[in-house]
Amino acid sequence: MPPENPKNSANPENREGAVRLVRDHTIYSCVMGSRAFGLATDGSDTDRRGVFLAPTPLFWRFEKPPTHVEGPGEEQFSWELERFCELALRGNPNILECLHSPLVEHVDGIGRELLSLRGAFLSRHVHGTFTRYALGQRRKLDADVRATGAPRWKHAMHLLRLLISARDLLRTGELRIDVGDRRESLLAVKRGEVPWAEVEGWMVRLAAEAEEAGRGTPLPPEPDRARVADFLYRVRRASALEAEPHHQVVQGVVRGGRVRQD
């Protein structure tokens, strides 16, 4: 699933300014995908995800900074801090997993504070968000089976991984994305070595176990929105106090053109 709808990212007219935001104002970046999950093979891509903090003066104009930016590197995608926090508070699986990647490539002081908030984003809502995403992926697999007699095995592997992660998160209150000693059994699914009926049964069991775990989960009913809001307010205020009116990044993005918004 794409991290965001491309129509909401910086348009081509403002590409240079958006790239500058990612290059100069990234507070956190990590590797995601198979490499972070412990499922990488020789042909695996390196998916990079990041969070950037747009200078506060950019928000004082009608044309706002982008909520997210694709690139500039291959398989690279970044969110502006506020958008990232908003999605994390909603329990978005892709966003929450970014905060728990074991492969951190860059983090500054603000990024470290963001990582310290990982627990504030978690709540019982993850049961619904993870489940809805899993159901959507399962419907696609079922459609493949009806059309061709077999699923896309790589997608089946990743759905199993997600279900395991969701179940364990609900059981323990902690999100861990590395599959650990399940690597070989999951890769066997990717290679198509496990019959679909067996894979399907595994998915059903994991979903049932997640449902049971949800009834006794140690996760709080709601995320700690106040704590996250305080963090965002402080970093926005500090950015406003530090930015110069004719800051190069501010002027570069403003001159670059319009930016589409959500």
Tokens describing residue 86? 């908003």
Q: Which of 45, 55, 46, 52 is nearest to 9 (CA)?
A: 52
pTM for the full predicted model: 0.84
Q: Which helix (H) or strand (E) holds 50?
A: strand 47-52
CA–CA separation, 151 and 132 (whole Å): 19
Q: For the chain, state the CA radius of gyration.
A: 20
Q: Give residues with Cβ within 8 angstroms of 148, minimum separation 6.
A: none
CA–CA separation, 228 and 208 (whole Å): 32
Mind listing the pLDDT tens digit for each residue in 70-89? 988 888 999 999 999 999 99
CA–CA separation, 133 and 110 (whole Å): 30
**Residue 72: predicted pLDDT:** 86
To which residue do tokens 């790589």 refer? 154
pLDDT cut 70: percent of the chain above it:
87
CA–CA separation, 55 and 132 (whole Å): 35
Mind listing the pLDDT tens digit for each residue in 149-167? 999 999 999 999 999 999 9
Coil, helix or strand for 56? helix
CA 187 and chain centroid, separation: 22
Structural contact between residues 219 and 122, judged by C-beta atoms closer than 8 angstroms = yes
Going by pLDDT thresholds of 50, 70 and 90, the confidence category of residue 10 is: very low
Coil, helix or strand for 251? helix
Coil, helix or strand for 51? strand
**Residue 244: predicted pLDDT:** 59
CA distances from 180 to 93, 157, 161, 164, 203 (A): 19, 14, 11, 11, 18
